[in-house]
Every structure is written in C-alpha cells, then in structure tokens.
C-alpha cells in the first residue's frame, strides 16, 4: 500500500523568543491526509495553522515528532510540495507569464516546457488573455490567481495553501474557491488548505480539522460528506448547515479564548 500524502506524527513545536515566555505553538498533532484528498484546517488566529503548514512545507523545523510526505521525513522544502501564501507574492516588474515562469526558472525547467506549463496553468486559473499584463494592472483576486498558477505550474503532488484568499472580498473568495475545487477535481493533488472561514472550509474540503488555541492541537476532525460535484449553492442545504454548526460548536470556545488573549496581550 502506498504511504499517505501527508503523515504527521506526535508533532510539537515550541517557539522560545528571547524576550518573552516560550509559546507551545503545536502539540500532540498526529493526523494523516491520504493521497489526493483535500483537507481544510480552521482555527482561531494564532493557534498555529501557519506553523503547521510551514513544518509540512519544510520551512519550519519540528521540535519533536515528525512529518512525512509520501513516506519520506520532511527536513527541507521539496520539489513535489507547492505552497501558496496569503500575501500577494507576485513580482511587480514581471508580466503574468514571467511571474508564472519564475519558479520554473529557479527549478531549471527547460524553456519550451516552461512556456507550455505556464500557459496551461494560466488557462487553468482563468487568466488567459492576461499573459503580458503586469501585476499593477490586475485586481487582488487576479494576483492571487497568478500566485496559484505559479505554484501549479511546478506540478506539485502536494499543495499547501495558507489562507490564500484572506485579503479578498467575500464574492471573489467564493469564486476563487470554486476554481480551486475545479482545479483539484482535474489534478487530484493532495491539498491542505488553511482558512478562517468555516463555509470556505466546508465548500472545498473532504475533511475539516479544527485546531485549539495555545497549545495548537487538532480537537475535532469532521468528514465533509457533501456531494463530490458540489458548488457554492451547497451552502443553502440542511446538510451544510448541520456541518457548519458542528464545526462552529468545536471552534467557538477556542475562538473566544484566542480573542480574550488578544485583548490581554500587550501591544507590540
Ligand atoms: N518565529 C516565531 N517566533 C516566536 N513565536 C512565533 C513565531 N512564529 C509563530 N509564533 C507564535 O506561534 C503561535 C502560532 O502562530 P501561527 O502564525 O502559526 O498562527 P496562525 O494560526 O497561523 O495565526 P493566523 O490565523 O493569525 O495566521 C502564535 O502565538 C505566534 O505568535
Ligand atoms: Mg497564519
């Protein structure tokens, strides 16, 4: 049997800033994402979602425990793991086409292959016709599409997304979410998608993990048994509302704890 896409075993990460008490960002996390599955992670601000994704991406070391991708322990970034971050990471001096080609140039993909894959990724995210436009001429949603295309063009088998649409308005988020789902149906990558938004998590994923605040643990795992071919209209179904209530039920107390902490913490 082939190993899971992502396997997390008893993971713990502690940050020890020199001027503040240590923060247990992640503790006792043991979870698996089967290959080709789509998992969403929700949790209050500061609970460790980005830290978890960064460990899987090989950008942050595990304190103890381990993370494996396709059965191999992650110790540094890998070619077959792609990451899309929240902030706009497009390069303003490069056109859409050149932004998408950039990561492939770094990865030393040959010129003709670069152009072919870049065009395919641009078409996939719905930016055909904008190849020669510079980021300043694009909306925030389009720039996030460029970032997504750049990662997709690398053909990662595992796709990690850290609140990729958080800076966008609700309608754009919904539309981009629908596109991500469409792309996943074609590529069947293993996806781990971090979001604050319960509805977004339920529309997109096959399973939702709820994280607690300080220490960051997975406190609930909810299978999303909504139809495979769903679209955003699923939000008006009783089944969706039932799942939403279940996720919120797990998240509410943690969100309040995180909020209370933010009120108490001195401004830095
Ligand atoms: N490099 C670091 N040094 C010290 N503390 C850190 C560092 N990175 C993260 N932390 C702390 O670890 C905790 C988890 O941070 P993380 O960024 O993973 O949370 P998050 O769930 O992604 O939050 P958000 O929803 O706001 O993005 C936070 O309390 C944060 O302050
Ligand atoms: Mg984060």
Atom 29 in ligand 1: which residue has the minimum CA distance? 46
Q: Which residues contact 30 (CB under 8 A, 6 or more apart)?
A: 8, 9, 10, 11, 65
Please determine, for residue 268, whether its predicted confidence score (pLDDT) is greater than 60. no
- State pTM to two decimals: 0.92
Q: Which CATH architecture has domain 1-77+190-249?
A: 3-Layer(aba) Sandwich (3.40)
Token couple for 94: 């490069």
**Partner residues linked to 207 by β-bridges:** 39, 223
State the distance from the centre of ligand 2 to the C-alpha of 108, rounded, in angstroms.
Answer: 30
Q: Is the CB of 47 under 6 A from ligand 1?
A: yes
**Stretch 11-38: mean pLDDT, rounded?**
95
Mean pLDDT taken over the chain: 91
Q: Confidence band (pLDDT; 50, 70, 90) for 48?
A: very high
Q: Which of 21, 13, 44, 52 is nearest to 266 (CA)?
A: 21
- Peptide bond between residue 215 and the one before it cis (omega within 30 degrees of 0): yes
Mutate to test the pocket of ligand 1, among 13, 27, 42, 49 (most ligand atoms within 8 A of CB): 49
Q: Confidence band (pLDDT; 50, 70, 90) for 87?
A: confident
Q: Is the CB of 143 under 6 A from ligand 1?
A: no
- Please state, in angstroms and as integers, the Cα–Cα distance from residue 59 to each residue in 53, 67, 85, 200, 262, following that order: 9, 12, 12, 26, 26
Share of the chain above pLDDT 90, in %: 71
What is the C-alpha to C-alpha distance for residues 185 and 220, in angstroms, rounded to an integer?
Answer: 26
Per-residue pLDDT tens over the stretch 152-186: 999 899 999 999 888 888 888 888 888 889 889 98
Q: Where are the domains of the chain?
A: 1-77+190-249
State the distance from the centre of ligand 2 to the C-alpha of 84, rounded, in angstroms.
Answer: 12
Q: How far apart are the first and last CA of the chain?
A: 50
Q: Is the CB of 55 under 6 A from ligand 1?
A: no
Question: Nearest ligand to the C-alpha of residue 48?
Answer: 1
Q: Which helix (H) or strand (E) covers residue 193, if one does?
A: strand 190-194
- Tally Cβ neighbours within 10 Å of residue 255: 18
Token couple for 266: 């001195």
Q: Which residues surround the ion ligand 2 when the cut-off is CB under 5 Å?
A: 50
pLDDT at position 242: 97
Mutate to test the pocket of ligand 1, among 16, 18, 23, 255 (most ligand atoms within 8 A of CB): 23
Q: Sheet of 23-33: strands edge to edge?
A: 23-33, 6-15, 64-69, 72-73
What is the C-alpha to C-alpha distance for residues 237 and 59, in angstroms, rounded to an integer?
Answer: 39
Q: Is the CB of 17 under 6 A from ligand 1?
A: yes
Q: Higher model confidence: residue 1 or residue 229?
A: 229
What is the C-alpha to C-alpha distance for residues 74 and 37, in angstroms, rounded to an integer?
Answer: 19
- Please state, in angstroms and as integers, the Cα–Cα distance from residue 41 to each residue in 22, 212, 213, 248, following that order: 24, 11, 13, 13
**Stretch 215-243: mean pLDDT, rounded?**
94
């Amino acid at each position: 049997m082939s190993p899971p896409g992502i396997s997390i075993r008893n993971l713990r990460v502690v940050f020890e800033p020199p001027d503040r008490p240590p923060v247990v960002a992640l503790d006792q996390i043991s979870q698996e994402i089967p290959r080709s599955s789509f998992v969403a992670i929700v949790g209050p601000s500061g609970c460790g979602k980005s830290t978890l994704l960064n460990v899987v991406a090989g950008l942050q070391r595990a304190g103890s425990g381990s993370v494996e991708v396709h059965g191999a322990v992650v110790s540094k970034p890998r070619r077959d793991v792609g990451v899309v971050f929240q902030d706009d990471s497009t390069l303003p001096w490069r056109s859409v086409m050149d932004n998408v080609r950039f990561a492939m140039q770094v990865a030393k993909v040959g010129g003709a292959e670069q152009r072919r894959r870049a065009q395919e990724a641009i078409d996939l995210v719905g930016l055909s016709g904008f190849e020669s436009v510079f980021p300043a001429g694009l909306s925030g949603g389009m720039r996030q599409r460029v970032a997504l295309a750049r990662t997709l063009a690398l053909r990662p088998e595992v796709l990690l997304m850290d609140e990729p649409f958080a800076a966008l308005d609700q309608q754009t988020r919904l539309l981009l979410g629908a596109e991500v789902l469409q792309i996943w149906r074609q590529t069947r990558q293993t996806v781990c998608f971090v979001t604050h938004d319960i509805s977004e998590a339920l529309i997109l994923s096959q399973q939702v993990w709820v994280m607690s605040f300080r220490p960051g643990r997975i406190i609930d795992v909810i299978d999303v048994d909504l139809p495979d071919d769903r679209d955003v209209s699923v939000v008006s179904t009783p089944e969706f509302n039932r799942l939403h209530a279940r996720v919120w039920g797990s998240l509410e107390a943690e969100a309040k704890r995180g909020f209370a902490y933010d009120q108490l913490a001195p401004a830095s």
